[in-house]
Amino acid sequence: MASKLRTCFVCWNLSGFNCVNHANGNRIERVSFPASCKMRNRTLSGSQHKRQQIKPSTEGGLRQNQDEEEDSEVSLNSDDSADNSNDTTTPLAIDVNGAEQAEQLSGRQLEDLLGMIRNAEKNILLLNQARVRALEDLEKILSEKEALQGEINVLEMRLAETDAWIKVATQEKIHVELLESQLEKLRNELAQKGSTEGRYAELHDFQNGDLSDANPLSHNDGIRSLTAELNSLRAENASLKNAIESFKTQLGDVKNNDERLVVLEKERSSLESALKDLESKLSISQDDVSKISTLTVEYKDLWDKVENLQSLLDKASKQADQAIIVLQQNQDLRRKVDKLEASLEEANVYKLSSDKLQKYNELMQQKIKLLEDRLQKSDEEINSYVQLYQQSVKEFQDTLETLKEESKRRSLEEPVEDMPWEFWSQLLLLIDGWTLEKKISVDDASLLREKVWKRDRRISDTYMACKEQSEHEAISAFLGLLSSATSPGLHVIHIAAEMAPVAKVGGLGDVISGLSKALQKKGHLVEIVLPKYDCMQYDRVHNLRALDVVIESYFDGQLFENKIWVGTIEGLPVYFIEPHHPDKFFWRGKFYGEHDDFKRFSFFSRAALEFLLLAGKKPDIIHCHDWQTAFIAPLYWDIYAPKGLNSARICFTCHNFEYQGTAAASELESCGLDSQHLNRPDRMQDNSAHDRVNSVKGGIVFSNIVTTVSPTYAQEVRTAEGGHGLHSTLSAHSKKFIGILNGIDTDAWNPATDAFLPVQYNATDLQGKAENKQALRRNLGLSSADVRRPLVGCITRLVPQKGVHLIRHAIYLTLELGGQFVLLGSSPVPHIQKEFEGIANHFQNHDHIRLILKYDESLSHAIYAASDMFIIPSIFEPCGLTQMISMKYGAIPIARKTGGLNDSVFDVDDDTIPSQFRNGFTFLNADEQGLNGALVRAFNLFKNNPESWKQLVQKDMNIDFSWESSAAQYEELYVMSVTRARAAKRA
């Protein structure tokens, strides 16, 4: 408190003070005292001059400490002589007679008088220094009082409970005001001190000869008066000392008050922290109340459903009882029929046996007769057999020659199996380059593509033979192979914004590469068209080259050139479109997130279709993905089908309905679409804003096939909550809408071949999994004392969608249940990242918990292989790959029933699911109780029934989550759509 008060400086010639209130505190300013408080005027000559002489020495004394007080004393005679020698005013006249009278004074008395005067001066100096220190202490007290007043005002505003303490502080303020009144008294005493200073000046004048005009009697009277004044000075000095002692006592009381105020400040801070805790608990309770209300509504709905199911169960039970009665009656009739059939069969056997015996006798007689005839003809037959043998030998030789020729011909026609897919993709890109460069006709290119499609040996041999020849000779050799042929499969072209591994942001890139490779293995011709981003991983593209051709596409009322690049990615032929547009659409350093994304991808969609048209391609399926290429569907039917690109059926896949690509309807005009024609409720008009268009809605309306990434997600998006405004559109087009679960790349995720693992293993040899578990424990510094302690893994992005509050709860619950927990992942949300950093620091050296808040590819493989269980508590998950990978590595998933998780994880305790499909532990509600139930059940099975757990692990590892089954579903959709289209054309 003392640090907040302002100070006032007191000096020897102080004339007065004034205390004024300033900014809720006290500020002391120097002012003049009234005339009544000033020193008495002295009539002795030279008094003012003497005060000027004494002032420098006095001020010097104030600037020194007590240890230097003796050094600050100056002889009056020497001071006077020095001052008189430098004084330029009227000189002091010393009368000769006065000097003679002064000589009559006793030297002893004069020395005593001078000693008394020096002691009085020293005491006065000490008193002044004490006053200065007292005023400095008072300044600190007033500063502390000002700070206290400000803090009390804050406490009055924030906490009503501190009123009692404020009253105490007010009383302290009154006490300080009393101290100020006492200070005023001290000021008055200082004024009186001024009169003493005047007396000292008179005495000084007397010493220098002012007594020369007085007679001895008056001289004695002067000595008496000086003695009396000296006594009064001593009394005054004693009273000042007493006043200083009382002031110090009061100062100690004020300091005690300061300590009480410090205690008050601590109590105030504790009250504030308690209030903050109460506010946080109140917010948490409000969230709990909202959750309870939501759960109440859900409980009512579930109870209604349970009642309906109960009524249906009762009806079904009655029908089952009736069916059982009918079945028993049928069984009785069946037994009677069986008895009758047995009797009839016995009768038939008896009858047949007698008839057969008679026929047998007749037959034997006939055979005897025939044998006699054959014996007679045996010679003739032997001769004929010899002749036939000779003829058959000749025919065999002719047939052998024919088979050799046929085998040679078939060997040329059979598909080549020993060449990689990348070889055929490069050959296909070579033919397309010749077509675009007008070096071969579109029809010839189509026939050559069919041969590549069939992996014809002759075209591969021709390609190998022509590598050293000129391009003209190679084209001639290829054209010499042309013959009519039929296509063995479908021609599928994917047009997308991503493809793993060269341009991958999310799951879309994995779908493009995984699905395309699976369809290619099934014998279909698959091609991909991508934008040529500047930020792609070009080192993953093989044989990347630019074609010597420029394609012009329409945009914003004019034609823009596009350069076409070709290359192969993991054996797939890929075309890259590079727009020569002044806005440099795909030279931004990133894939998405630009302000003009709508224009960028509508431009790309039109340029891609222009490329297919000019290249003479006749695909069976054009497959577009997400909102970025959903423009393909309306562009194809409104613009390019009338131009001749009309062989394909359009398939549209939306991987996440949260992102829909909306814009003002007028922006459709840039790519050549008619906004007035399409901005209608049954076409591309956004369901939430009628002046905007929705590209995903356009993809749904104008496509022949519409898919999403899991069956459950397909059901969720038909609701108002999950469809993000498109649920009504999806319901209207439900006949062509289906959900197909994505797959995983089993080449990259396979514990039997995983190069990241210390030990490879499979379902029949789980010892390797135990060794990987021990290796991870050593690597992360976890305890290995109990090899049977279960390890729970979690690999995820720490975002609200993934259920971060449940992940946090799972860490502590796992520890409580006696397990170990390993988390790998980070969060783009700062407060979530900071929260988990705090948890990681808390468990930094723990034996059973480890959090690695980053992504590490090799460590992710090790965690999958080491984990016994895997936590996936997502709030929302269109498909999800974590649960599939964890099962492939023998980690049992513990997942919430939503989206793709609901289609791939089935609870081991769910009797409604066939036992062969039960593969994990699930929970429905996204709360701690739901997670508790699933995790506790998993721990119980792991600890109490090791053999059942081992069987569950082996079953999960043998589940096929590859793209094979998903590609088969897409293949079926493609074939059905193409078949219907061809049938419609024939009709």
Kindly report, residue by residue over 554-577, the tens digit of the pLDDT: 999 999 999 999 999 999 999 999
Amino acid at 702: F
Tens-digit pLDDT profile for residues 501-545: 899 887 798 899 999 999 999 989 999 999 999 999 999 999 999
Tokens of 911: 């009797």
Q: In the prediction, which pLDDT does 118 show?
A: 81
Amino acid at 298: E
Which backbone phi and psi does 11 adopt, to 5 degrees?
A: -125, 175
Residues 587 and 579: their CA atoms lie apart, in Å, by 10
Tokens of 942: 């792991």
Residues 299 and 313: their CA atoms lie apart, in Å, by 20
Owner of token pair 């514990």: 751
Residues 419 and 455: their CA atoms lie apart, in Å, by 9
Q: What is the mean pLDDT of residues 847-872?
A: 95
3-class DSSP state of 88: coil
Which backbone phi and psi does 87 adopt, to 5 degrees?
A: -80, 125
Residues 792 and 823: their CA atoms lie apart, in Å, by 9
- Which among 850, 824, 810 has a CA at the least distance from the CA of 936? 810
Cα–Cα distances in Å, from 393 out to 104, 402, 545? 183, 14, 61
Residue 422 pLDDT > 70, yes or no?
Answer: yes
Residues 987 and 977: their CA atoms lie apart, in Å, by 15
Q: In the prediction, which pLDDT does 166 show?
A: 62
Owner of token pair 């020095």: 82
Q: Which residues are CB-neighbours of 36 under 8 A, at least 6 positions away?
A: none
Question: Half-sphere exposure (CA, 13 Å, Cβ side) for 968?
Answer: 5
Residue 987 pLDDT > 60, yes or no?
Answer: yes
Tens-digit pLDDT profile for residues 457-508: 778 878 887 877 788 778 877 877 774 444 468 999 999 999 988 998 877 9
Residues 655 and 657: their CA atoms lie apart, in Å, by 7
Q: How far is CA 504 from the centre of its chain?
A: 18
Please report which helix (H) or strand (E) contains residue 692, including its range. Answer: strand 692-694
Residue 410 pLDDT > 70, yes or no?
Answer: no
Q: How confident is the model at residue 124 (pLDDT cuts 50, 70, 90)?
A: confident
Q: How confident is the model at residue 250 (pLDDT cuts 50, 70, 90)?
A: low
Residues 656 and 361: their CA atoms lie apart, in Å, by 84
Tens-digit pLDDT profile for residues 185-221: 777 777 776 555 555 555 455 444 444 444 444 545 6
Which of the two residues, 453 and 727, has the higher pLDDT score?
727
- Average pLDDT taken over every residue of the chain: 79
Owner of token pair 């705090």: 838
Q: What is the mean pLDDT of residues 738-758?
A: 93
Q: In the prediction, which pLDDT does 231 show?
A: 75
Helices 457-465 & 471-479, crossing angle to 10 degrees?
160
Tens-digit pLDDT profile for residues 18-54: 443 343 444 433 433 333 333 333 333 343 443 344 3
Cα–Cα distances in Å, from 334 out to 330, 341, 347, 882? 6, 10, 20, 54
**Cβ contact 879:905 at 8 Å:** no
Q: How confident is the model at residue 714 (pLDDT cuts 50, 70, 90)?
A: very high
Residues 939 and 821: their CA atoms lie apart, in Å, by 13
Is beta strand 849-852 parallel, antiparallel or unpaired with respect to 820-824? Answer: parallel
Residues 635 and 645: their CA atoms lie apart, in Å, by 11
Residue 100 pLDDT > 70, yes or no?
Answer: no
Least confident of 126-140, 248-262, 617-631, 785-799: 248-262
Q: In the prediction, which pLDDT does 871 show?
A: 97
Burial of 914 (0-12, 13-18, 19+ CB in 10 A): exposed
Q: In the prediction, which pLDDT does 64 show?
A: 39
Question: Half-sphere exposure (CA, 13 Å, Cβ side) for 923?
Answer: 22
Tokens of 688: 């939430």
Percent of the chain's residues with pLDDT above 90: 45
Q: In the prediction, which pLDDT does 9 show?
A: 35
Q: In the prediction, which pLDDT does 921 show?
A: 98
Give the number of other Cβ atoms within 10 Å of residue 973's Cβ.
Answer: 20
Q: In the prediction, which pLDDT does 347 show?
A: 64
**Cβ contact 298:924 at 8 Å:** no
Owner of token pair 């859900």: 298
Query: Which runs of consecutive H residues, i.e. helices, occur in 414-470?
Result: 421-436, 442-453, 457-465
Q: What is the mean pLDDT of residues 407-434?
A: 75
Residue 7 pLDDT > 50, yes or no?
Answer: no
* DSSP classification of residue 636: I
Owner of token pair 């007594």: 211
- Which among 202, 199, 187, 184 has a CA at the least distance from the CA of 234? 199
- Residues 716-752 as b/e (b if ≥16 CB within 10 A, e otherwise) read bbbeeebbbbbbebbeeeeeebebbbbbbbbeebebe
Q: What is the mean pLDDT of residues 578-587?
A: 96
Torsion on CA atoms 514, 519, 523, 527, rounded to nearest 10: -80
Helices 804-817 & 928-944, crossing angle to 10 degrees?
40
3-class DSSP state of 196: helix
Q: What is the mean pLDDT of residues 775-796?
A: 95
Four-residue CA torsion sign, 486, 489, 494, 499: negative
**Cβ contact 525:519 at 8 Å:** no
Q: What is the mean pLDDT of residues 891-896?
A: 98
Q: In the prediction, which pLDDT does 289 show?
A: 64
Percent of the chain's residues with pLDDT above 70: 72
Tens-digit pLDDT profile for residues 625-648: 999 999 999 999 999 999 999 999
Amino acid at 968: A
Q: How confident is the model at residue 123 (pLDDT cuts 50, 70, 90)?
A: confident
Residues 733 and 700: their CA atoms lie apart, in Å, by 8
Least confident of 340-344, 385-389, 762-766, 973-977: 385-389
Q: Which residues are CB-neighbours of 558 under 8 A, at least 6 positions away?
A: none
Residues 537 and 422: their CA atoms lie apart, in Å, by 18
- Which among 269, 258, 260 has a CA at the least distance from the CA of 5? 258
Residues 204 and 208: their CA atoms lie apart, in Å, by 7
Which of the two residues, 140 and 606, has the higher pLDDT score?
606
Residues 88 and 665: their CA atoms lie apart, in Å, by 100
Q: How confident is the model at residue 703 (pLDDT cuts 50, 70, 90)?
A: very high
* DSSP classification of residue 850: E
Which of the two residues, 231 and 960, has the higher pLDDT score?
960
**Cβ contact 193:124 at 8 Å:** yes
Q: In the prediction, which pLDDT does 143 show?
A: 80
Which of the two residues, 256 and 474, has the higher pLDDT score?
474
Q: What is the mean pLDDT of residues 676-705?
A: 96
Residues 560 and 342: their CA atoms lie apart, in Å, by 88
pTM (whole model) above 0.85 = no
Tens-digit pLDDT profile for residues 61-72: 333 344 443 444
Q: What is the mean pLDDT of residues 795-816?
A: 94
Torsion on CA atoms 112, 114, 117, 121, rounded to nearest 10: -130
**Cβ contact 416:457 at 8 Å:** yes
Q: In the prediction, which pLDDT does 16 show?
A: 39
Cis peptide before 420 (omega within 30 of 0): no
Mark residue 645 as left, alpha or beta (left: phi above 0; alpha: psi -120 to 50; beta: remaining). Answer: beta
Residues 773 and 856: their CA atoms lie apart, in Å, by 17
Which of the two residues, 396 and 615, has the higher pLDDT score?
615
Q: How confident is the model at residue 406 (pLDDT cuts 50, 70, 90)?
A: low
Least confident of 155-169, 265-279, 749-763, 937-951: 155-169
